[in-house]
Amino acid sequence: MIHRNSFLPIFLFVGIPLTVLFAYFGLNYSGFCFAKMRYLSDEERFRMVFDYQNERTDLGRSTYKYIKYASFDEYIKENTDCCSINPGGPYEIRQSSFLDRIFGYDARDVIVINFKVRYLDETGNQRAFETRFENTLQNCGHPQ
């Protein structure tokens, strides 16, 4: 006959660690950032994607000199409804895998920025063209 007390060591050594792992993976799957111990706000996610795209120098017209925005605030003043989250697909980026989601390497949301690229043409005149960037972020905001 098995006594109730014999299940206590099994629960302590198996049940509690499994519960902690399920909680950890569940929070990762939902997009929780453990480094900051919270979910990132939409504005934070927009800023992170903006910073990533603004630092690139190969934004479509590599023979021209790209003009970076001084800040996200400057960009928002010129592009008030630039950014959205999951506005509808299909997207040109790959869908995240289950393992990437539970380990926090790929959050579920697609951040879309309609980006006005400013550049100097061959005669030195400032020009611009619009493009759309689709990015996913890791749970703590690193762009993919």
- The answer, yes or no, to whether residue 129 has pLDDT greater than 80, is yes
Q: Are 49 and 133 in contact (CB under 8 A)?
A: yes
From 95, 92, 125, 99, select the one nearest 28 (Cα to Cα): 99
Residue ranges making up the domain that contains 35: 4-135
Give how far the C-alpha of residue 81 lies from the chain's centroid of Cα atoms, to the nearest Å: 19
Amino acid symbol at 135: N
In the chain, how many domains are there? 1
pTM (predicted TM-score): 0.79
Note whether residue 142 is domain-resident.
no
Note whether residue 22 is domain-resident.
yes
| CA–CA distance, 16 with 1 (Å, rounded to integer) | 25
Note whether residue 126 is domain-resident.
yes
Q: Where are the beta strands (DSSP E) in the chain?
A: 65-67, 83-85, 111-120, 126-135
Which tens digits make up the pLDDT trace of 29-61? 888 999 999 999 999 999 999 999 898 766 655
